[in-house]
Amino acid sequence: MVEHDIPKATAKRLPIYYRYLNLLLDSGTVRVSSNELSEAVKFDAATIRRDFSYFGALGKRGYGYDVEALMNFFGEILNQDTLASVALVGVGNLGQALLNFNFHQSSNARIAAAFDVKPEIINTIQSGIPVYSLADLESQIMDQRIDVAIVTVPADVAQDVANRLANAGIRGILNFTPLRLDVPNNVRVQNVDLTNELQTLLYFINNFGDK
């Protein structure tokens, strides 16, 4: 994988650029300007140019960016050719919905294994994904070389699950539970909180009105 020292905000925008470039390429578009990209992805053109500049001079003045070259370039940075296997722990309401969602269609990740403690769901296939007993967590993670886990268990067991994931060698956790997880330094946690997102949206609507 290519290593680049880039700001976190830029890194977060890369998958968005990548997805849009993919669409452009599919529609036969050969080149794109930062202004056109800006219209589509809703980041201002200066931000886009600055983001791209971290990777060297990719665009040409008056020409814009070559869609295919840019896409290949970002694909390499994002490691798109390697399909990352992800585990999901907790196949309840939210877990089921995520299993149903085909991450692979729009990213380089797919859920390869799910885990739960409910006997009625263990050893079944849900949305094409095998559900294992929590007792098999460590062995499956190691056998399937899983690096990342999505945690959708009740909050009161989330820390326990995180400890086991960390011990099994997981390097990243997408945490949907309201609990803020305590993990070793080599494990990265990304928290997803829909309530927070909704509150933020309401705040902006109530305080700033129209854009």
Ligand X SMILES: NC(=O)c1ccc[n+]([C@@H]2O[C@H](COP(=O)([O-])OP(=O)(O)OC[C@H]3O[C@@H](n4cnc5c(N)ncnc54)[C@H](O)[C@@H]3O)[C@@H](O)[C@H]2O)c1
CB of 99 to ligand X, least distance (A): 11
Pairing state between β 31-32 and 65-66 = antiparallel
Q: Is 157 annotated among the ligand-binding residues?
A: no
Nearer to ligand X by C-beta: 41 or 157? 157
Q: How far is the CB of 193 from ligand X (least distance, A)?
A: 5
Q: How far is the CB of 117 from ligand X (least distance, A)?
A: 4
90 annotated as a binding-site residue: yes
Residue 192: both structure tokens together:
């997803």
Q: Which parts of this chain interact with ligand X (CB under 6 A)?
A: 89-95, 115-118, 134, 152-155, 157, 161, 176-178, 192-195
Nearer to ligand X, 34 or 152 (CB): 152
Spatial strand order of the sheet with 172-175 comes to 125-126, 129-133, 109-116, 84-89, 148-151, 172-175, 188-191
Comparing CB distances to ligand X, the nearer of 37 and 89 is 89
CB 146 within 8 A of CB 170: yes
**Residue with the CB atom nearest ligand X in the bound state:** 92
